[in-house]
């Protein structure tokens, strides 16, 4: 017999065909394939071969489902390297960031949920604990941990959302041609840096795309920003350690 789902299962499951894990996995499949519009209690019940009323005995509402789906996806984030004493704090947080980004990139349908739902789940707490551990290892004081953690989340999640949306929105051919013509004919005298670097920026810089996709991946840009963020953590943590040491002396 399967274990009750931590969020969805209510009552005793012995005489029920459905279980929480099956419900969440099927809901995730519908969300992944068709987005939020494709997931409703009615469509989920149909996919599970049951009635809506029977489904409601397990799931109070769609928002509950979405929170459970968030937890399912975040299980893919590997936090084990975070606690490897052989690795420096910087490498640990970098590894956690990369794993988090990979999970978000593989499940772009999750972004809407992450930005609109309260999702305090076992796996979101596991990731938060790992990140906070890394930040403390950097020397960030407890009085600044919340801001440091929010900055990290904002960068990893925000970059992933921008990156995924940039790849999933393709303009119609007429609009694409109009943007190409504007780019070729634009008077760039008032934009000297754009004029100098347009060949490099076009289709790789956010807000300067005229095609439906960016050239190449966002790995280089993500890595650059992550290095800059980690550099700032190291400087901030080092300064706090020096202040603490000076006060003690």
What digits encode the pLDDT tens for the residues 5-51? 888 865 444 445 688 899 999 999 999 888 888 999 999 999 999 99
Claim to verify: residue 91 and residue 155 sit in the same structural domain? yes
* pLDDT at residue 208, as a whole number: 74
Domain total of the chain:
3
Claim to verify: residue 180 and residue 104 sit in the same structural domain? no
Residue 97, pLDDT above cutoff 90: yes
- Which helix (H) or strand (E) is 246 found in, with range? helix 219-248
> What mean pLDDT do residues 208-225 have?
75
234 domain-assigned: yes
The mean predicted confidence, pLDDT, of the chain is 84
Claim to verify: residue 131 and residue 87 sit in the same structural domain? yes
* pLDDT at residue 5, as a whole number: 83
Least confidently predicted of 12-16, 105-109, 236-240: 12-16
Q: How far apart are CA 246 and CA 243, in angstroms?
A: 5
Range of the domain at 56: 20-73
Claim to verify: residue 208 and residue 244 sit in the same structural domain? no
CB neighbourhood size of 135 (10 A): 24
* pLDDT at residue 1, as a whole number: 46
Q: Are 72 and 24 in contact (CB under 8 A)?
A: yes
At 129 the three-state DSSP class reads helix
Residue 173, pLDDT above cutoff 90: no
Claim to verify: residue 151 and residue 241 sit in the same structural domain? yes
> Highest mean pLDDT range out of 173-177, 179-183, 209-213?
173-177
Residue 166's pLDDT band (cuts 50, 70, 90)? low
* pLDDT at residue 167, as a whole number: 62
* pLDDT at residue 229, as a whole number: 96
197 domain-assigned: yes
Alpha carbon separation from 41 to 13, 123, 234 (Å, rounded): 20, 24, 47
Residue 99, pLDDT above cutoff 60: yes
């Amino acid at each position: 017999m399967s274990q009750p789902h931590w969020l969805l299962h209510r009552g005793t499951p012995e005489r029920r065909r459905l279980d929480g894990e099956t419900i969440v996995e099927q809901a995730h499949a519908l969300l992944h394939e068709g987005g939020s519009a494709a997931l409703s209690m009615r469509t989920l019940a149909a996919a599970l071969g049951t009635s809506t009323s029977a489904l409601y005995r397990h799931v109070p509402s769609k928002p509950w489902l979405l929170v459970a789906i968030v937890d399912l996806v975040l299980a893919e984030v590997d936090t084990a390297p975070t606690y490897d004493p052989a690795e420096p704090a910087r490498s640990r947080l970098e590894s956690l960031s990369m794993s988090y980004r990979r999970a978000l990139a593989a499940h772009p349908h999750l972004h809407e949920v992450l930005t609109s739902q309260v999702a305090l789940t076992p796996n979101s707490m596991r990731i938060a604990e790992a990140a906070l551990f890394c930040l403390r290892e950097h020397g960030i004081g407890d009085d600044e941990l919340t801001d440091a953690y929010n900055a990290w989340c904002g960068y990893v999640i925000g970059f992933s959302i921008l990156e995924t949306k940039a790849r999933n929105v393709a303009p119609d051919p007429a609009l694409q041609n109009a943007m190409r013509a504007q780019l070729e004919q634009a008077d760039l005298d008032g934009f000297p840096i754009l004029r100098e670097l347009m060949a490099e920026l076009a289709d790789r810089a956010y807000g300067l795309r005229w095609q439906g996709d960016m050239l190449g991946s966002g790995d280089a840009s993500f890595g650059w920003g992550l290095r800059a963020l980690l550099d700032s953590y190291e400087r901030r943590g080092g300064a706090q350690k020096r202040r603490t040491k000076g006060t003690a002396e």
